[in-house]
Structure 1
Amino acid sequence: MLDSFVEQVIAPVTHDLGGFKVHRTLPAKERTMVGPFLFFDQMGPAHLPQGQGIDVRPHPHINLATVTYLFDGAIDHRDSLGVRQRIEPGAVNLMTAGHGIVHSERSPGDERSAGPALSGIQTWLALPEADEERDPAFEHVAAGALPELDADGVRARIIMGGLWGLTAPTTTYAGTIYADLRLAPGASVPIDAAAEERAIYLAEGEAVLEGVPLLPRTLYVLRPGIAATLHSATGARAMLCGGDAFATPRHVWWNFVSSRPDRIREAKRAWRAGEFPAVPDDDAEFIPLPDIPLTVSYP
């Protein structure tokens, strides 16, 4: 039954980062991309001890866009463009790396004093080849600016692209769909078949897709052109992601993504040599280039 509407099931690889866990489903050995999405992490849920927090030191990216979306907690974003932006639940931070950007992510001071919560999704999007070397950019879209469908026990926030007749204001570089689906007990939501590639990820609770139970923190890649219905008997939160299929593969090594392996080699050299721009007011430390990265693709 599952095979009739699901093309692939991708189980997470879980990393314990000390105090919280990250569950990663993309990239995977069996698949690198779903539409433009080539990195899919669920952070937490976690509640860190009082006085502690997350401190992701400055690190670089190229040829991609990052999307941070929180369920709980807050993160302070700083980058080499001079941007400093706090993100809270329901809002979107879209950072376009282009030819190169450096950023850090840290728990705000007021969150640390109470013992910060952390729960959310971070994704990376591949850029079309014509946009890979564009100028870096940053965009924050407040929760209130994102359209929501609220009917029959379903609250669907459109994070990127257009779904169910609603379109998010968030910038996209390729055909993209991305939505946060919250289902009350007994609710159902149709999954549109229009996008070339789509996947459903069960972040919280219990849900079935066409009557088949979904495993938590698992990415279900749907077959093209087949409509499906997501239902929850007891309540759930799921993410829908996808968009246009890319004609050319993307290579991933650590924080670097590109259609060209030689571009990744150059980025590795440049970061090691200290040639990337610094993050203002957060340049006293950085993450060094790893010998063996946790994030790689398998082209």
Structure 2
Amino acid sequence: MSNISTIIPERAANIGNFQVGRLLPFRKKRMVGPFVFIDHMGPAELDEDENLDVAPHPHIGLSTLTFLFKGSIVHKDSIGTEIEINPGAVNWMTAGKGVVHSERTPERLRGTKKSLHGLQIWVALPKELEQMEPSFHHTEADKLPTWEEDGLIYKLIAGKAFGKESPVPVHSDLFYIEINSSKRQVVDCGGALFGESGLYILEGAVYSEGHTYEPKQLLVAKEATLCAFEMEANSTIYIFGGTPFPEGRTINWNFVSSDKALIDKARKDWIAQRFPKVPGETEFVPLPQ
């Protein structure tokens, strides 16, 4: 990436009873295209008495994208969805005007040793869709466009790029791509990207202009169309981004909006428990003070 503008390190954060590495938002870069939030979950090895238990909590104004490398999570939401996500599949939940969901270790894995590793991503909605009806879409791993070119394996997880389109029903112009290398070689996206772009190194290394970049770093490009770099053998990276919105976004707890009044309303509605409920769930995460 010959035009790196920002290097963002992972920072430790806690989500209930689970430690994550936070990548976005960052004080010097709040968004990359429509992407407003990225957490790197794990890799974690959980004992028999350790489980992921994120109790019901609300969202507005965004879509969540869950993508696992290892492990399984049961997603339940106030729309009535209950589904187990496994590695390589995509959970895409659009909160719109308001949704509540929980994320937990499946019952079949409780009481056993287990692994958990993945990315949790928030994508802001366009201003005109921030109050849309909530929805949920699950895409199995084998439905994602995957191809090999010059020794590199590409997977288009969401959006459009390289003349291909993912079946994940996104609401703005964006891309989220996985690239795996089998040997050290140059990667040139050749104008396939647009807007803003970020590159996250999951494993291996990336080389650019005499510098070496290793895992737990997010590199943000000055201009997506100039995205070119060298990958070490056996590396895995994720490139994401897209067309930025004309107006900014405020993030307050789990709420994202271009209108602070909508966030204030969401906070009051959560305190008063006016959000829809997750069927079968009685717990909830209280609004942080």
For normalisation by structure 1, the TM-score amounts to 0.91
Distance 2:187 2:110 in 1: 37
Amino acid across the alignment from 2:195: E
Bigger CA drift: 49-58 or 100-109?
A: 49-58
Q: Over residues 91-143 of structure 1, what are the superposed CA-to-partner deviations in whole Å (9 max), with x where a residue is unaligned? A: 10000000000000001122234322111111100100110000000000110
Match of 2:9 among 8, 11, 20: 11
1:258 aligns with 2:257: yes
Distance 1:19 1:235 in 2: 32
Gaps of 5+ in 2: none
Query: Helix, strand or coil: the match of 1:98?
Result: coil
Q: CA deviation at 1:219?
A: 1.4
Bigger CA drift: 150-159 or 265-274?
A: 150-159
1:245 aligns with 2:253: no
Q: Over residues 218-247 of structure 1, what are the superposed CA-to-partner deviations in whole Å (9 max), with x where a residue is unaligned? A: 211112154233433332111100000110
Q: Are the aligned partners of 2:16 and 2:54 in contact in 1 as well (CA < 8 Å)?
A: no
Name the structure 2 match of 1:44: 42
Query: Helix, strand or coil: the match of 1:161?
Result: strand
Name the structure 2 match of 1:280: 279
Query: Helix, strand or coil: the match of 1:201?
Result: strand
Structure 2 counterparts to residues 19-58 of structure 1, below 5 A: 21-58=19-56
Bigger CA drift: 81-90 or 216-225?
A: 216-225
Distance 2:109 2:128 in 1: 40
Name the structure 2 match of 1:228: 227
Q: Are the aligned partners of 1:20 and 1:46 in contact in 2 as well (CA < 8 Å)?
A: no
How much is the aligned-residue C-alpha RMSD, in angstroms?
A: 1.8
Structure 2 counterparts to residues 69-80 of structure 1, below 5 A: 69-80=67-78
Q: Over residues 240-280 of structure 1, what are the superposed CA-to-partner deviations in whole Å (9 max), with x where a residue is unaligned? A: 00000110000001100000111111100000001001100
Q: How many residues align?
A: 288
What fraction of aligned residue pairs are identical, expressed as a percent?
38
Bigger CA drift: 95-104 or 204-213?
A: 204-213
Match of 1:173 among 158, 171, 178: 171
Amino acid across the alignment from 2:228: T
For normalisation by structure 2, the TM-score amounts to 0.94
Name the structure 2 match of 1:129: 127
Which consecutive aligned stretches of 4+ in structure 1 deviate over 4 angstroms post-superposition? 16-20
Q: Are the aligned partners of 2:204 and 2:214 in contact in 1 as well (CA < 8 Å)?
A: no
Distance 2:185 2:151 in 1: 5
Name the structure 2 match of 1:195: 194
Query: Helix, strand or coil: the match of 2:223?
Result: coil
Distance 1:192 1:118 in 2: 34
Q: CA deviation at 1:61?
A: 0.2
Q: CA deviation at 1:21?
A: 3.0
